[in-house]
């Protein structure tokens, strides 16, 4: 009798576990409804599809199991999306504003795709974001700023105060970064990755906002291969945690701010192939940067020089080479020829002809 009761209890217990396990899996893999709607809107704005993104199927385990999506470690039906890692997924299309509803997002990686168009201004209102990598696409700036990058990018709370951090690993998170000319790195938790803004290899234009100085916690700022113009803001020296600053291959002009020597953690600096001029700052970390960091700027030098002293002699030489007595070259040359002929007549250089005639008369007589 006891044996039968024990067997019956064991069977009932096994049946109860079989019903509980699917619910447990569903709870751990689902995500917040607002995050689901945001991701659905983003996917609908693309011209391409993302593998394994399926929100219409009743068998779908939830967006936390989708490719490139990482949720936090909370349990239940309200897990929040904290990572969106969709680099090198051959995505085609534009970014819609629905991603701004992912208000717990900390990592956004759309690098090495075929995305383009304007950047939604609301996208950079994500106050918990710590990593933004949209490099190697064809973005042209924001809609409201006439192609310039949104100023909201310089007001990210998590990169100003640093109050938002993740100390514990987030399960399932893995981020790859491919350095230019260097090995790719893999990060398995958000807290191990350096706060980064990478906008390189796009078609962004306009000035570099002085407001970047607010981002004290930013470690990497990469604006390489765009169309940024104007001077390098002196305020960038306020980015006290900066380790890498790449402004190369743009249209920046003016001098390199001397205040940048105060960036004591700066180990990688590149302003090559711009339109910079003047003396390269000395001191601080600048003594460790190779010459390749400054090449492609004809007006830069290590000696005593300024933008004015480098440019004026070149312009004055061109003017001297193209003018004669203050007139354009062709007119000056013609005027000079006429004046020369007149001077010859006045000075009597034509008198040898009568002298020759006298000599002839003398012989004939």
Claim: this prediction has a pTM higher than 0.75: no
9-57 per-position pLDDT tens digit: 444 444 443 333 333 344 445 789 999 999 999 999 899 888 777 655 4
pLDDT at 162: 55
Q: Based on the structure, what is the number of domains in the chain? A: 2
Q: Could you tell me what percent of the chain has a pLDDT over 90?
A: 49
Cα 69 to Cα 55, 74, 98, 102, 198, distances in angstroms: 13, 15, 15, 12, 20
Top pLDDT among 180 and 274 is at 274
Residues 6+ away with beta carbon under 8 Å from 179 = 185
Please check whether residue 347 lies inside any domain of the structure: yes
Considering the domain architecture, whether residues 184 and 332 belong to the same structural domain is answered as no
Q: Return the closest-CA partner of residue 222 out of 194, 240, 198.
A: 198
pLDDT at 176: 47
Considering the domain architecture, whether residues 197 and 329 belong to the same structural domain is answered as no
Considering the domain architecture, whether residues 278 and 160 belong to the same structural domain is answered as yes
Greatest mean pLDDT among 47-61, 151-165, 227-241, 319-333 lies in 227-241
Please check whether residue 47 lies inside any domain of the structure: yes
Contact between 148 and 206 under an 8 Å Cβ cutoff? The reply is yes
Considering the domain architecture, whether residues 332 and 293 belong to the same structural domain is answered as no
Q: Could you tell me what percent of the chain has a pLDDT over 70?
A: 63
Q: What share of the chain is helix, strand, coil (3-state, %, to 5)?
A: 40, 20, 45
Please check whether residue 272 lies inside any domain of the structure: yes
The CATH number given to whatever domain includes residue 208 is 3.80.10.10
Considering the domain architecture, whether residues 317 and 357 belong to the same structural domain is answered as no
Mean pLDDT of the chain: 76
Considering the domain architecture, whether residues 241 and 311 belong to the same structural domain is answered as yes
Residues 6+ away with beta carbon under 8 Å from 18 = none
Considering the domain architecture, whether residues 119 and 172 belong to the same structural domain is answered as yes
Query: For residue 37, which phi and psi values (nearest 5 degrees)?
Result: -65, -40
Considering the domain architecture, whether residues 241 and 329 belong to the same structural domain is answered as no
- For 159, the domain range is 23-322
Please check whether residue 1 lies inside any domain of the structure: no
pLDDT at 144: 61
Beta strands in 160-282 (DSSP E): 175-178, 184-187, 196-198, 205-206, 220-222, 227-230, 244-246, 251-254, 268-270, 275-279
d(CA 186, CA 178): 9
Considering the domain architecture, whether residues 268 and 347 belong to the same structural domain is answered as no
d(CA 39, CA 69): 9
Considering the domain architecture, whether residues 332 and 246 belong to the same structural domain is answered as no
Considering the domain architecture, whether residues 225 and 331 belong to the same structural domain is answered as no
Average pLDDT over residues 77-93: 92
Give yes or no for residue 87 having a pLDDT over 50.
yes
Please check whether residue 106 lies inside any domain of the structure: yes
d(CA 138, CA 115): 6
Name the pLDDT band for 166 (thresholds 50, 70, 90). very low
pLDDT at 20: 37
Please check whether residue 15 lies inside any domain of the structure: no
- Of the candidate ranges 51-60, 308-317, 352-361, the one whose mean pLDDT is the lowest: 308-317
Number of residues written out for the chain: 365
Considering the domain architecture, whether residues 230 and 118 belong to the same structural domain is answered as yes
Helix ranges, the chain (H): 2-29, 33-45, 157-160, 307-322, 329-347, 352-364
């Amino acid at each position: 009798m006891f044996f039968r009761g024990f067997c019956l209890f064991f069977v009932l217990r096994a049946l109860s576990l079989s019903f509980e396990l699917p619910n447990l899996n569903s709870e751990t893999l689902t995500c917040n409804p607002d995050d689901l709607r945001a991701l659905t809107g983003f996917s609908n704005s693309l011209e391409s599809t993302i593998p394994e993104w399926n929100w219409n199927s009743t068998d779908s385990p939830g967006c936390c199991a989708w490719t490139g999506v990482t949720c936090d470690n909370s349990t239940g039906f309200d897990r929040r999306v904290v990572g969106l890692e969709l680099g090198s997924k051959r995505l085609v299309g534009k970014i819609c504003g629905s991603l701004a509803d992912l208000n717990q997002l900390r990592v956004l990686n759309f690098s090495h795709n075929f995305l383009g168009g304007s950047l939604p201004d609301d996208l950079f209102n994500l106050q918990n974001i710590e990593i933004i990598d949209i490099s190697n696409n064809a973005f042209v700036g924001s809609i409201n700023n006439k192609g310039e990058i949104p100023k909201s990018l310089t007001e990210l709370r998590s990169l100003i105060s640093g109050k938002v951090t993740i100390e514990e690993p987030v399960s399932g998170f893995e981020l790859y970064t491919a350095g230019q000319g260097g090995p790719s790195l893999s990060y398995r938790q958000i807290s191990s990755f350096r706060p980064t803004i990478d906008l390189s290899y796009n078609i962004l234009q306009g000035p570099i906002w002085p407001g970047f100085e607010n981002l004290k916690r930013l470690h990497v700022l990469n604006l390489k291969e765009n169309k940024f113009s104007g001077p390098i803001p002196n305020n960038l020296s306020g980015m006290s945690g900066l380790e890498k600053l790449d402004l190369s291959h743009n249209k920046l002009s003016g001098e390199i701010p001397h205040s940048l020597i105060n960036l004591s953690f700066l180990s990688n600096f590149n302003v090559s192939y711009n339109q910079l001029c003047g003396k390269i700052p000395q001191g601080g970390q600048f003594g460790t940067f190779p010459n390749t960091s400054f090449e492609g700027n004809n007006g830069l030098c290590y000696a005593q020089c300024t933008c004015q002293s480098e440019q004026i002699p070149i312009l004055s030489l061109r003017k001297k080479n193209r003018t004669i007595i203050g007139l354009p070259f062709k007119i000056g040359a013609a005027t000079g020829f006429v004046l020369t002929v007149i001077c010859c007549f006045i000075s009597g250089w034509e008198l040898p002809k009568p002298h020759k005639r006298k000599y002839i008369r003398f012989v004939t007589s």
